[in-house]
Amino acid sequence: MSATPDHLLRAAFDPDTFRGDGERLLARLADHLERGLQADNGAVLPWREPSRMLERWRADFETGASALPGVHAGMSPSAVLDVLSMHMLDDATQLHHPGFVGHQVAPPLPLAALCDFAAAFTNNGMAVYEMGQQGTAMELHVVDWMAKQLGLGSAAGGVLTSGGTLATLTALLAMRQARAGWDVWTDGSIGGPPPAVLVSEQAHYCADRAVRIMGWGEGGLIRVPVDDEYRMRTDLLPEYLARAQQAGRRVLGVIGSACSTATGSFDPLVPIADFCAAHDLWMHVDGAHGAALALSGKYADRLAGIGRADSVIWDAHKMLLQPALVTAVLFKDARHSAGAFAQDASYLLGPRGEAAWYDLAGRTFECTKRMMSFKLYATLAAYGPALFDAYVTRTVDLAHDFAALLRAQPDFEVAVEPQANIVCFRHLPAGVADLDAHQAAVRMRIITRGLFYPVQTMLRGTRWLRTSLMHPFTSRDDLQRLLDEVRTA
């Protein structure tokens, strides 16, 4: 006899079932973490062709039938959870594995992941204070703390949002509203000359995306060349500003990358700040990855000048060990945080211009928003900033060690001395004509073997293997093994 709709719902919300499911799932996750941290821990990336993966996870949700081993119609929901979570973890890119040297996503701190789970469970949205009172308070404290670490001053403030890309759009919308010279929010983009912003040619694509979304077109992003270390040539700023103005653009600001994605290079922020001050331009810093160096006693000076920015974005899911996503958009003058969005929505917000300081929806693109403050707040409360100092300093130290290791081996080349925990290098075996194709082929072979997960990038038309040393326990020996693996591959 099939369950009545009421039984079905009651069983799905049964607290005892939840307790049992949760205990088993947590035990499985703890095993996964333990395995990941060991040296003989299997694959960091259990590679399967996309079409094979699609086939593996094929399921008929009406009948409960599945292509996955061990899942079949008629199983209890708890049994389904057990088997699915096992397969999900088996197929996971193992960020807790020291061979994870790929993209800039943190191996999440277990405590922070637990908090994220609790945030998901309470589902206290953050559009308005009433839907997430505690989350709002924690968010305001965390944002204040982050602004303080960067030296943005006592009037600073901001908001948490879902990722660096959205955060960049948010900051640039505020810049546009503040510097366009007319009320763009009300009158639209046609109230004056087409805006533009100056940025290093190494900047993350999110700046380009934000500019295009705002309707400034390709010419709205003016790319300033970089020096040998992939840092913005700030000596060229006057020339590029003049050229843009001659082309009829109204330049609103300069974006400094701190650091860039491909090589982890820090644009010189002091000259950028001086230039912005001299020309009444908005200074924005993309600190998605590198703002965390502010927490390193050893490396904080790489961010010199960041405190003079009008806005900064900072991803906590990169160098603050948080599960994705959680990004701060910080403003030197907190009032700009509401400047990007000024919306009438009587069912949710107060009248335009009267958004209460505690209703954070007025500051973000999002309406319902995950309570992303809890994990970061709890991490800070539990471990203090010393944890971040230890992590950031260690990973940047390791990048310098890795560069030295590479330089000591004649069949390898380093793109540039690392400035953060990102290292780009190439394998140069004798007798290989197409070195670019070689790097790509080697990387693919490494991934399919599974012991390491490096990524790749193009620099000045040449292909490089790229590593972000995100794992707190990747060692110099692991990196020597990676080089051996490159040779074997």
Ligand X SMILES: Cc1ncc(COP(=O)(O)O)c(C=O)c1O
By the rule CB under 6 A, 456 interacts with ligand X: no
Residue pair 150/307 in contact by the 8 Å Cβ criterion? yes
Q: Three-class SS of residue 333?
A: coil
By the rule CB under 6 A, 264 interacts with ligand X: no
By the rule CB under 6 A, 419 interacts with ligand X: no
By the rule CB under 6 A, 482 interacts with ligand X: no
- The Cα 374–Cα 311 span in angstroms is 23
By the rule CB under 6 A, 395 interacts with ligand X: no
Q: According to CB under 6 A, which one of 116, 139, 267, 286 is a site residue for ligand X?
A: 286
Q: Which is nearer to ligand X, 420 or 451 (CB)?
A: 420
Span 226-245, contacts to ligand X by CB under 6 A? none
DSSP alpha helices (H): ranges in 91-163? 110-122, 133-149
By the rule CB under 6 A, 359 interacts with ligand X: no
Instruction: Kindly state the smallest distance separating residue 104's Cβ from ligand X, in Å.
Output: 5
By the rule CB under 6 A, 289 interacts with ligand X: yes
Q: Which is nearer to ligand X, 304 or 455 (CB)?
A: 455
By the rule CB under 6 A, 364 interacts with ligand X: no
By the rule CB under 6 A, 206 interacts with ligand X: yes
By the rule CB under 6 A, 315 interacts with ligand X: yes
From residue 297, how far is each of 157, 382, 391, 401 by CA, in Å? 24, 20, 11, 18
By the rule CB under 6 A, 204 interacts with ligand X: yes
Q: Which is nearer to ligand X, 66 or 170 (CB)?
A: 170
- The Cα 197–Cα 253 span in angstroms is 5
Q: Which residue is nearest to ligand X (CB)?
A: 164
Cβ partners under 8 Å of residue 124, min gap 6 = 131, 132, 133, 134, 135, 371
Plot region of 248 (φ>0 → left; ψ -120 to 50 → alpha; else → beta): left
Instruction: Kindly state the smallest distance separating residue 142's Cβ from ligand X, in Å.
Output: 17
Closest to 370 in 3D by CA, of 162, 133, 211, 180: 162
Express the helix, strand and coil content of the chain in percent, nearest 5 each: 45, 15, 40
Q: Could you tell me how many residues of this chain bind ligand X (CB under 6 A)?
A: 14
By the rule CB under 6 A, 366 interacts with ligand X: no
By the rule CB under 6 A, 163 interacts with ligand X: yes
- The Cα 417–Cα 334 span in angstroms is 36
By the rule CB under 6 A, 267 interacts with ligand X: no
Segment lying near ligand X (by CB under 6 A), choices 90-98, 135-143, 286-294, 432-440: 286-294
Residue pair 300/294 in contact by the 8 Å Cβ criterion? yes
By the rule CB under 6 A, 164 interacts with ligand X: yes
Query: Residues interacting with ligand X, by CB under 6 A?
Result: 104, 163-165, 204, 206, 257, 261, 286, 288-289, 315, 325, 327
